[in-house]
Amino acid sequence: MNCYYLGIRKVRISWLILSFIFMFSLPLTANEVNSSVNRNSNRRDKLVCQTDLKGEIDDLLNKEELKRSHWGISIKNLNDQTTLYELNSQKYFIPASNVKLLTTAAALIKFGSNYQIKTPIYGSGSYPNLTVLKVVGQGDPTLSSEQLETLAKQLKTKGIERIDNLIVEDNSLTHQSINSTWEWEDIQFYYATAVNRLILNENAVILTLTPQELGEKLTIEWSDPIAAKQWSIDNQTITGEQDSPYSVSINRNFEKPLLTITGNLAINSQPDPFGMAVVNPGQYFLDSLRFYLEKEEIKVINSEVIYEDSNTENLVKIMEIESKTMQEIITKANQESNNLYAESLVNLLVDNENLENNSLDNLKEILEQLGLDPNLYHLKDGSGLSRHNLVTPEALVNLLTLMIQTQEGKIYRDSLAVGGINGTLKNRFKETIIEGKIQGKTGTLSGSSSLSGYIEPPDYSPLAFSIMVNQSDLPASELRKVIDQIVINLGNLKRC
C-alpha cells in the first residue's frame, strides 16, 4: 500500500485524471479516498473548553481498538506559540505524504512563488534545414504533449523543414530516477514512476480494461499509443457473469517490461482504468517530440536520447518552454498529493556549487536556516512514498509555525487542501463546524495515516497541528475517522 491508496484497491483512476489525459496532460494524482465525518451532524457540535481538550483526545485514543496503534500528536496555538496538546510529539513516525510539507516549503523558500522552470531548445544549421535540434531537460514536471505539439508548430512557422539530428538530453542517469527505498510492487504504477529530467505527461499512461461477451478476454486500450508501445501485455483476463466479484490484478515482470493481467470483470461493469508508469521516460519524450514534428511535415533523419551533460557552445538557443509557476507546482503537490511533482521539487534543490550534498541534504540546510531543527526528521525521498522516512509531529508543527511567518506564508498555506472544499480533503469535514476552515496535508500508507495543517476555530485562536498514526491493523478509513474527530474537537475549542 502507498501514499495514494484508493480505498478498496490501488491504482483506480478518477474521472478527473481520465479527462485530463485526453487533453494531453495527465495529472497523475490520485486523491486519497476520504470518508466524510458526520455529514448529517449539526454544523456546530458541543463546544470544547481548552482545559478539557486533553481529556477529549485521550478518551478517543483509549478505545480498545486503538490501543495497539502508535499515535503522535502536536497541537500549537499560532498566536502565542503555546502547546495545547502533545502525545509522542518528539518520537519518530512514518509520515507518508506529510513529507510533502517539508519538500514544498524548501522549494518555495529557495525559488519563490513566481519561479518557472525553463527547458531550453538549441539548434544549429541554416533554415529551412537544421543540422541539430536539441532539447535539454531541466526537470519540469508540468510538460505535456500539448506543449510538444505547440513547439513543433512554432518550428514549422519558423520555416524549418528538416532536422538531421534530433537530440533530447535527459541526464537523469547521473542519479537514481526511481528511489531505491520504494516498494517494488509500486513502481509499475503512476504514483511511483521514474523522476527524470525530461518528464512528459507526468511519465504515466492510462490502461483501460473493458468487458466483452461472457467468457471472452477483456479488451485493453491505452490512452497514448506512444507510451503504450513500451509495455508488453500478457492478457489472462476474463469477462465474468453479471455482478460477479471483481478480481482484476496487474503484475510486472521486472526482467522485462511485461505486464501480466489476470482476473475477472463482470460483464455489466464499467470500463476499468489503471494509471501505469512509462517504462523509459526519456525515450517516450523523444518519440513523442518526433511524432509531432513529423505531423507538421518536418522530416527527422536521426534521433537519440543522451544521458549526460553535453556541450551547447556551438548551438544557438532557439526558444524555451516555461513551466507553470512554483506556486502552482507546490499547490498540485500538496492539494492533490502528487508524488512526481514533489520528487521533481527535490531534484531542483541540487546545488551545483556543492556537489557533495545531495538534494535532501540541501533541503535540510534550507529548512535549518528557516529555524527547523534538522534532528527532528530524517528523509529518504521528497514525496513520502518511502517507508524509510521518519518525522516527528513536533517537526511538522514547528515547520507550519515558521512558514506562516515568512513572506510566502499565505501562498504556502493556500497550497494545502481545504476541508470539504478541494484536494485530498474535499470529502472530509463536510457539514461540520470546520468545513472550509481547515487547510491540511493528508498522508496514507498501509497501517499509517496522517494529517497536518492549519485550523481556525470560530471561538479560538488559529492552530497548527500534526496527527500521525503508525503500526495500526485498522483500515485507513477507520483511522481517518479518529483523526477527523480530533480535528473537529479543535474546531469546537473555546476559552473557558
Q: Which domains does the chain have, with CATH numbers?
A: 15-114+327-494 (3.40.710.10)
C-alpha 125/C-alpha 129 separation (Å) is 6
Residue 24 has pLDDT above 50, yes or no: no
Output 176 or 206, whichever has higher pLDDT: 206
Distances (CA, A) of 297 to 124, 228, 305: 19, 24, 22
Output 46 or 63, whichever has higher pLDDT: 63
pLDDT attached to residue 481: 97
Question: Other C-beta atoms within 10 Å of 43: how many?
Answer: 9
Q: Which three cell numbers stand for residue 21?
A: 489525459
Q: pLDDT over 90 for what percent of the chain?
A: 82
Compute the residue count for the chain. 496
What number is the average pLDDT over the span 90-105? 98
Q: Is-contact 230 278, C-beta < 8 A?
A: yes
Residue 240 has pLDDT above 50, yes or no: yes
C-alpha 364/C-alpha 377 separation (Å) is 9
What number is the average pLDDT over the span 205-221? 97
pLDDT attached to residue 143: 98
Distances (CA, A) of 50 to 81, 164, 394, 432, 460: 15, 72, 20, 19, 9
C-alpha 419/C-alpha 428 separation (Å) is 6
pLDDT attached to residue 313: 87
Q: How confident is the model at residue 127 (pLDDT cuts 50, 70, 90)?
A: confident
pLDDT attached to residue 254: 83
Instruction: Please provide the distance, in angstroms rounded to a whole number, between the alpha carbons at the two ends of the chain.
Output: 43
Residue 171 has pLDDT above 90, yes or no: no
Residue 97 has pLDDT above 90, yes or no: yes
Q: Which three cell numbers stand for residue 225?
A: 499509443
C-alpha 138/C-alpha 199 separation (Å) is 9
Containing H/E element for 145?
Answer: helix 145-157
42-46, 90-94, 222-226, 333-337: range with lowest mean pLDDT: 42-46
Output 3 or 311, whichever has higher pLDDT: 311
Q: Which residues contact 91 (CB under 8 A, 6 or more apart)?
A: 72, 392, 393
25-42 pLDDT tens trace: 333 333 443 444 444 344
277-325 pLDDT tens trace: 999 999 999 999 999 999 999 999 999 999 988 888 889 999 999 999 9
Q: Which residues contact 355 (CB under 8 A, 6 or more apart)?
A: none
What number is the average pLDDT over the span 56-69? 94
SS3 90: coil
pLDDT attached to residue 150: 97
pLDDT attached to residue 173: 52
Question: Other C-beta atoms within 10 Å of 165: how many?
Answer: 16
The alpha carbon torsion through 291, 296, 302, 305 (nearest 10 deg) reads: -50
Q: 352, 355, 323: which is closest to 137 by C-alpha?
A: 323
Q: Which residues contact 127 (CB under 8 A, 6 or more apart)?
A: 158, 159, 160
- Complete DSSP assignment for 61-72: HTSGGGTTSEEE
What number is the average pLDDT over the span 125-130? 91
C-alpha 483/C-alpha 76 separation (Å) is 16
Q: Output Rg (C-alpha) for the chain, integer angstroms.
A: 24
C-alpha 198/C-alpha 281 separation (Å) is 7
pLDDT attached to residue 130: 96
Predicted TM-score (pTM) of the model is: 0.90
411-425 pLDDT tens trace: 999 999 999 999 999
Q: Which three cell numbers stand for residue 31?
A: 486523491
pLDDT attached to residue 303: 97
Q: pLDDT over 70 for what percent of the chain?
A: 89
What number is the average pLDDT over the span 466-492? 97
Q: Which residue has the cell 512526481?
A: 340
C-alpha 242/C-alpha 290 separation (Å) is 44
Q: Is-contact 397 440, C-beta < 8 A?
A: no
pLDDT attached to residue 352: 65
pLDDT attached to residue 241: 97
C-alpha 150/C-alpha 168 separation (Å) is 17
Q: 70, 85, 92, 71: which is closest to 395 by C-alpha?
A: 92
Q: 218, 341, 199: which is closest to 278 by C-alpha?
A: 199
174-188, 329-343, 465-479: range with lowest mean pLDDT: 174-188
pLDDT attached to residue 353: 61
Q: What mean pLDDT value characterizes the chain?
A: 90
- Express the helix, strand and coil content of the chain in percent, nearest 5 each: 30, 25, 40
Q: Is-contact 430 38, C-beta < 8 A?
A: no
Question: Other C-beta atoms within 10 Å of 358: how many?
Answer: 13
88 Rama class: left (phi>0) / alpha (psi -120 to 50) / beta? left
C-alpha 396/C-alpha 105 separation (Å) is 11
Q: 197, 152, 200, 195: which is closest to 25 by C-alpha?
A: 200
β-pair partners for 71: 469
pLDDT attached to residue 175: 52
Q: Which three cell numbers stand for residue 463?
A: 492552530
Q: Which three cell numbers stand for residue 140?
A: 519540469
Residue 349 has pLDDT above 50, yes or no: yes
